[in-house]
Structure 1
């Protein structure tokens, strides 16, 4: 019987062969969408409300409540710091048991020759309806604004954390990298077509031509 880590790696190898799960997803895969979440003046309540609304709308276009998900949490390893069971993300998963979490490490994800490029990884498998994704997306939106809450880390701290929602059933990966934008990739272009049609106005203008060429 496969362990959770083996199951996760097998899924990526079967459906996203050669992909390194890292930012920016949009430039690392051939079937991809990149959305602009920004509207209005930065660091206002209205700005964050709109960014979170767009991210939530896109998430709900890509994930149904019954979809099985790998929720992947990456945290830059600083000295002996580990991912604590009391962290914000784990508290957003209903009735999460310690046995449901697989811990591992990823070396040289961004800097191939650096001995300091180490990520602590936590992998959770759950259905989408167990995850308070709205609160998670809101916290990601506040990543670069240490006085705003909720946060993925403690108030006032800046840390390198990444969250990936992997839809096992639809073979879609979502990464909201911060308040500015969100990437979606899929093993099959057809799984992105309706999302592209429904939210075309939110595509990031810088990458719009490249995205349009995939679907038109």
Structure 2
């Protein structure tokens, strides 16, 4: 079975009917949504706290030995493909080209737009091979072109998204930008320790809905 086939089987077995897209929290029954924002936007301290919170939550959700699919999406412009030299792939220790499976997702956000095409790269690996802190830091800079590192080294907004799919714990982690991140799981009990440990960071807007899951 190829990595792409394994990935699709995993989603079908554990997240049947789910399409991996934003906002992940509203796409599934069991989920958490965290607030990463503290203080005045666009200060060094602000971005340090965004990265600290995201990295701390990630470390709670993923053990170093956990197996995962790293799913990298990029909006397709003309003939552009996902380059092996992109920033995210550089954050993976000893990545080989043969480890990457490529796919496409059509009309992910615009059902009537035949040009809504996402190029997708899927990599199966252990958590400890990923410099996830650097990736999360770059995601936090999405809306701030002057800040580095970025998922997009040329400074343009191109619709790049990264999903960490934990095979062992059957959960999916997605940081959408500096504002927050979502985690969904096949079983809400998997989320309970994360919910308890980082309860102070739950996004207030969705707190009532989240609390009801664990009553």
TM range (shorter): over 0.9
User: Which residue of structure 2 aligns with residue 46 of structure 1?
Assistant: 45
4+ runs deviating over 6 angstroms: none
User: Which residue of structure 2 aligns with residue 63 of structure 1?
Assistant: 62
User: Which residue of structure 2 aligns with residue 34 of structure 1?
Assistant: 33
Alignment of 1:97-136 (within 5 A): 97-136=96-135
User: Which residue of structure 1 aligns with residue 149 of structure 2?
Assistant: 150
| Structure 1 position 172 matched with structure 2 position 181 | no
d(CA) in 1 for partners of 2:211, 2:154: 40
Displacement after TM superposition at 1:158 (Å):
1.6
d(CA) in 2 for partners of 1:204, 1:159: 26
**Conserved? CA contact 1:35–1:202, under 8 Å:** yes
Task: Report the TM-score when normalising by structure 2.
Answer: 0.99
| Structure 1 position 22 matched with structure 2 position 17 | no
User: Which residue of structure 1 aligns with residue 209 of structure 2?
Assistant: 210
Root-mean-square deviation (CA), in Å? 0.6
CA deviation map 1:73-121 (0-9, x unaligned): 0000011111001000110000000000001110011111111100000
Task: Report the TM-score when normalising by structure 1.
Answer: 0.99
**Conserved? CA contact 1:39–1:50, under 8 Å:** yes
**Conserved? CA contact 1:149–1:155, under 8 Å:** no
User: Which residue of structure 2 aligns with residue 198 of structure 1?
Assistant: 197
Name stretches of at least 5 consecutive residues in structure 2 with no aligned partner.
Answer: none
d(CA) in 1 for partners of 2:204, 2:77: 36
Displacement after TM superposition at 1:155 (Å):
3.8
Q: Name the SS for the 2:55 alignment partner.
A: helix
Q: Name the SS for the 1:89 alignment partner.
A: helix
Alignment of 1:8-19 (within 5 A): 8-19=7-18
d(CA) in 2 for partners of 1:85, 1:22: 23
**Conserved? CA contact 1:93–1:132, under 8 Å:** yes
Q: How many residues align?
A: 215
Name stretches of at least 5 consecutive residues in structure 1 with no aligned partner.
Answer: none
